[in-house]
Amino acid sequence: AQSVTQLGSHVSVSEGALVLLRCNYSSSVPPYLFWYVQYPNQGLQLLLKYTTGATLVKGINGFEAEFKKSETSFHLTKPSAHMSDAAEYFCAVTSWYNQGGKLIFGQGTELSVKP
């Protein structure tokens, strides 16, 4: 079975500050990990993904995440927050062995950016 835990349902940062959203996963097989972003009243948009290979992955809008197997973590970071980053962020896990390719989501973290 797979699961995802996102630490902190709300995170608030100042514009220009570091963004750090935490995600820990549980998986008995090699995981594929994803970060999605959801802007108000919209669907989910893929930010970045890790499948195999390089453990530091870069995504859209200046975000990146590092897969750390020993810590079972996949934290999302951005060096400098922008007002437009305010949204809800979801971490998700699946695997090649997952029947139907089902994606298991965390509870979500709402990011607020203060001017």
Partner 1 sequence: NAGVTQTPKFRVLKTGQSMTLLCAQDMNHEYMYWYRQDPGMGLRLIHYSVGEGTTAKGEVPDGYNVSRLKKQNFLLGLESAAPSQTSVYFCASSWNMGQAFSNTGELFFGEGSRLTVL
Is position 96 an interface residue for partner 1 (rule: CB under 8 A)?
Answer: yes
CB 82 within 8 A of CB 91: no
Which of 43, 115 has the CB closer to partner 1?
A: 43
Instruction: Please give the single-letter amino acid code of residue 21.
Output: L
Contact 42, 88 (CB under 8 A): no
Q: Which stretch binds partner 1 (CB under 8 A): 17-25, 34-42, 61-69, 75-83?
A: 34-42
Smallest CA-to-CA distance from 33 within 24, 44, 41 is with: 24
Q: Does 90 bind partner 1 (CB under 8 A)?
A: yes
What is the Cα–Cα distance from 90 to 6, expressed in whole angstroms?
8
- Binding track over 59-78 against partner 1, x by CB under 8 A: --------------------
* Residue ranges in contact with partner 1 by CB under 8 A: 9, 32, 34, 36, 41-46, 49, 51, 90, 94-96, 98-108
